[in-house]
Amino acid sequence: MLRILFLCHGNICRSPMAEFVMKKLVADAGLEDVQVESAALHTDEIGNDIHRGTRAKLTEMGIPFSRRAAWLLTADKAREYDLLVGCDAYNKADLLRLVFPEDRRKVHLLLEFAGKSRDIADPWYTGNFDATYDDVLEGCTALLSAIRRGEVG
């Protein structure tokens, strides 16, 4: 079983978008041994559901999702995952500070899988859920390809 955790600042915009996009890609690919979740790196939105902009974009794109509550990652909980995937450089820095040293090898940025070094912009600030979705889809599609090639996990 490959366990992937997507992370962003508050776990209401980018990381749940990545979670549900990846779940659909994994299901469409028929991969039953991949588990996908998302979490927050800060407490701002703990307990809150997905942002309305993320819900609207997922609905528009036909990506199924469910109600959920943002939750905060801990170092102990991070141990349960094989990949810890942040959306921007701040997320990656937060993760590297948070996790135990032996878990740092699990930390990645989502667009790294697509061969890019840039961040996924936070639509909480930009208001541009279309651009965020495009980046999330590109990163998740590349991550799925890496999984199929046996390069991660």
pLDDT along the chain (153 residues), means of 10: 98 98 98 97 98 98 97 98 98 98 98 97 96 98 97 83
Does the annotation count 122 as an active-site position?
A: yes
Beta bridge partners of 35: 3
Question: Which residue of the set 13, 14, 55, 140 is catalytic?
Answer: 14
Q: How far apart are CA 35 and CA 23, in angstroms?
A: 8
Question: Which residue of the set 88, 94, 119, 122 is catalytic?
Answer: 122
pTM for the model? 0.97
Does the annotation count 82 as an active-site position?
A: no
Residue 82: the pLDDT is 98
Residue 81: the pLDDT is 98
Does the annotation count 135 as an active-site position?
A: no
Architecture of domain 2-148: 3-Layer(aba) Sandwich (3.40)
